[in-house]
Amino acid sequence: MSSIKFFFPDSHDYVDPSFDFIREQGNEHRIRQRDDHYPHEVFSTPPYDGMLISKAIVDGTEKGTSKYTMAQRQRFFRQGAKRFMRLPHDMPLMGDCGAFSYVAEYEPPYSVDEVVEFYEIGGFDLGISVDHIIFAFESQAKVVRLVEGDELAECLRRRELTLTLADEFFKRAQGCGFTPMGVAHGWNPESMAESVVALQKMGYQRITLGGLVPLKTVDILRVLEACDGVRDSGTEFHLLGISRVENVEAYQRYGVSSFDSTSPLQQAFKDARHNYHTASGETYVALRVPQVDGNPALMRAIKSGKVDQDKAKVAERLCLKVLREFDQGRASQQQVMQALADYEAVMLVEPKKSFLKHYERTLEARPWKQCPCDICQQIGIDVAMFRGAERNRRRGFHNIFVLHEKLKLHLNRTVTVCDSQPGSE
């Protein structure tokens, strides 16, 4: 059985290694990005097999979505992406255009030449062709729907455009230092498979399957089955934005060799419930202890006179103190719950929006105590606090670590199963 690689898409996600969780500040002389640490620098072993960088994140689009400062961008191109990100030399670096950022445009904002140049100067190992996402899909999950009329015409236009650009891109990439990857888009399994056939004819052996993010698992597997049906023996698939590792066995069967996803990182601070992930699949709510001096919503409430700043500061400090004592076994769960409830009361959290009932489970399990990752080992209960970027992002890194461990476990399992079958190689 083949291995499957997890690529982590970078969105300028790094943490300040000098951050002091007691004093709540880092080294004031630090230079952002240069002195900060990416996940592969935080853990003793990188929590992914490769990284993915989008042109849209580095260069922005016409509407200006770049996350890089001018100085960072110049350094990125001068040093090459791997040196800029201090990525291990043997770790593959994949590039794409970041098609989500221009999904509403009529056409992609970049020419094939611009994208090839981006991959060349950046020193990428793998480069994904210029594409335009198709979001309509004829789902068979719950409600069956048909794509027709104007919607179908737009799907056909986007697929044609993506394939024309892919053809041009493949020719331009010959002799360049990166392996070109084509993108297959479609609105049902059949149209996706047709894209795969067309890309293989152009010469592509690495094909990414796009537009799968909003799809239910049943639909993703239908797409994979159809694409596998037309797959040449040397063709490998990459899944864009998909991280459901429980399907690893099916991925392997259908010729998937890699995937990427930011969702474990994002869930740490964007999800209402699943903030802290564990290897068993259980997820936990993070403990909300917003910074009185740093949380925009709380600061607005203080300014408008709704929340008393002094009372909020006292409740915040008490929360932090009791949480730390709890982690050291010097405070009870009941005391922590009381401190969290008092802080919620000062912040005037509506009962409907209260997280108190979910905190019991997190405190009961104390999952960070069992996690072997460098972050949980080093910062303990701070990883479970929903509070500022330094904690929230570290919890995201922990989630990435968990995903990677789960992937390795699933892969090992499939290898063991195959080995133990009589006659298998």
Interaction site with Zn ion (CB under 5 A): 371, 373, 376, 398
Point out which residues pair with 179 in neighbouring strands: 126
Q: Quote the CA–CA distance of 122 and 296 in Å, as a whole number.
A: 36
Least gap, CB of 376 to Zn ion (angstroms): 3
Three-state DSSP state, 274 = coil
Burial class of residue 151, CB neighbours in 10 A (0-12, 13-18, 19+): middle
> Would you call 260 a catalytic residue per the annotation?
yes
Q: Which DSSP category does 308 fall into?
A: -
Least distance to Zn ion, CB of residue 383, Å: 6
Between residues 39 and 211, which has the closer beta carbon with respect to Zn ion?
39
Q: What are the start-end ranges of the E strands in 119-160?
A: 126-128
Exactly one of 167, 260, 327, 382 is catalytic; which is it? 260
Distance CA 91, CA 88 (A): 5
CB 109 within 8 A of CB 62: yes
Question: Minimum Å distance from CB 382 to Zn ion?
Answer: 11
Give 136 or 371: the residue with its C-beta nearer to Zn ion: 371
The Cα–Cα gap between 295 and 388 comes to 8
Phi-psi category of residue 424: left, alpha or beta, with phi > 0 → left and psi -120 to 50 → alpha: beta
Nearer to Zn ion, 240 or 285 (CB): 285
Of the two residues 263 and 414, which places its CB atom closer to Zn ion in the complex?
A: 263
Report how far residue 81's alpha carbon sits from residue 379's, in angstroms, rounded to the nearest whole number: 30
Residue entry with tokens 């996600």? 13
Number of helices (H), then strands (E), belonging to the chain: the values are 16, 12
Residue 230 near residue 196 (C-beta atoms within 8 A): yes
Closest separation in Å from C-beta 218 to Zn ion: 31
| 356 and 283 Cβ atoms separated by less than 8 Å | no
> 321 or 369: whose CB is closer to Zn ion?
369
Work out how close the CB of 387 gets to Zn ion at its nearest, in angstroms, rounded to a whole number. Answer: 17
In whole angstroms, how close is the CB of 95 to Zn ion at the nearest point?
29
Residue (61 or 266) nearer to Zn ion, CB: 266
Pairing state between β 206-209 and 385-386: unpaired
Which residues make Cβ contacts (< 8 Å) with residue 327, sequence separation at least 6?
Answer: 366, 380, 381
CB of 44 to Zn ion, least distance (A): 12
Is the distance from CB of 291 to CB of 316 less than 8 angstroms?
Answer: yes
CB contact at 8 A, 185 and 211 = yes
Select which of 10, 36, 96, 327 is catalytic.
Answer: 96
Active site residues: 96, 260
